[in-house]
Chain A
Amino acid sequence: DAMVIQNPRYQVTQFGKPVTLSCSQTLNHNVMYWYQQKSSQAPKLLFHYYDKDFNNEADTPDNFQSRRPNTSFCFLDIRSPGLGDAAMYLCATSKGGALLDEQYFGPGTRLTVT
């Protein structure tokens, strides 16, 4: 059973045209993350939500925004995609809390910018 679901799996957008990627989870986890992963590189954290608290990484461009309307859903908005934003976007969740634990990843959305 899918626990972290990402839609769509493949997204093509035009240069400068806003695009939204979505993530949902059935785990009822407190924390949701968005990562960007380029070819042959490690995932790079963009931001995360701990419940409703939004935490942005210092080097995440302003072009990237996120929304978490409820526990289950989290969205990644790219306001004006550039060619350099073509990548795999990974959503992940974790329970949060004092005891550190693993992050559960979705299958990713591969974004192509034309």
Chain B
Amino acid sequence: GESVGLHLPTLSVQEGDNSIINCAYSNSASDYFIWYKQESGKGPQFIIDIRSNMDKRQGQRVTVLLNKTVKHLSLQIAATQPGDSAVYFCAEDDAGNMLTFGGGTRLMVKP
């Protein structure tokens, strides 16, 4: 379902530290998950995806972990940089090519 709210949860990290952004998804039948990064005034940008037959996937400086038992998804960003500052959305595909977005987390990187 849709997440509604006026205030995004915010994660504030120091430049160079690792960031972990968490997401709880709703549909146990979902079999594809994506993390998107959205900078102010721009459209969402694909970061990394994972299918339900995996529990971990790594990209460049990013790792996604999937725990299907508790319906939890996390995004880990290594050596966080100022350019990583954005809102991060998880999304689940629960009906074939349809994405349901989570509520979003704002990541702020302090220099």
- A94 within 8 Å of B by Cβ? yes
Contact of B44 among A31, A90, A94 (CB under 8 A): A90
- Whether B69 sits at the interface, judged by CB under 8 Å, is no
Q: With A and B bound together, what is the CA distance between A106 and B101 in angstroms?
A: 16
Decide if A45 touches B46 in the complex (CB within 8 Å): no
Q: Determine whether the beta carbon of B93 is less than 8 Å from that of A100.
A: yes
A81 CB within 8 Å of chain B: no
Q: Mark A34-58, 1 if CB is under 8 A from B, else 0.
A: 0000011111110010100000000
> Which residue of chain B has its CB nearest to the CB of A109?
B43
A50 proximity list for chain B (CB < 8 A): 97
Decide yes or no whether A103 CB sits under 8 A from chain B.
yes
| A102 and B7 contact, CB distance less than 8 A | no
Across the interface, do A43 and B6 meet the contact criterion of CB distance under 8 Å?
no
Chain A proximity mask over B62-87: 1 for CB below 8 Å, otherwise 0:
00000000000000000000000000
Collect the chain A residues with CB atoms within 8 Å of residue B4's CB. 41
Q: Once the chains bind, are B41 and A105 in contact (CB under 8 Å)?
A: no
Q: Which residues of B contact A103 (CB under 8 A)?
A: 34, 46, 99
A45 touches B5 (CB 8 A): no
Range for the number of chain A residues in contact with chain B: 20 to 34
Contact with A along B21-59 (1 / 0, CB 8 A): 000000000011010100001111110010100000000
Contact: A42 with B104, CB < 8 Å? Answer: yes
Q: B43 and A105: CB pair below 8 A?
A: yes
Is B3 a contact of A41 with CB atoms below 8 Å?
yes
List of A residues within 8 angstroms of B44 by Cβ = 43, 90, 105
Q: Chain B, 1-28, contact with A by CB distance < 8 Å: what is the 0/1 string?
A: 0111111100000000000000000000
The list of the 6 closest CB pairs from A to B, nearest first, reads A42-B101, A105-B43, A100-B32, A105-B44, A108-B43, A102-B46
Further contacts, 16 of them, CB under 8 A, given A4-B43, A48-B97, A103-B99: A31-B97, A40-B104, A41-B3, A42-B89, A42-B102, A42-B103, A44-B2, A44-B101, A45-B98, A94-B97, A100-B51, A100-B93, A102-B34, A102-B49, A103-B46, A106-B43
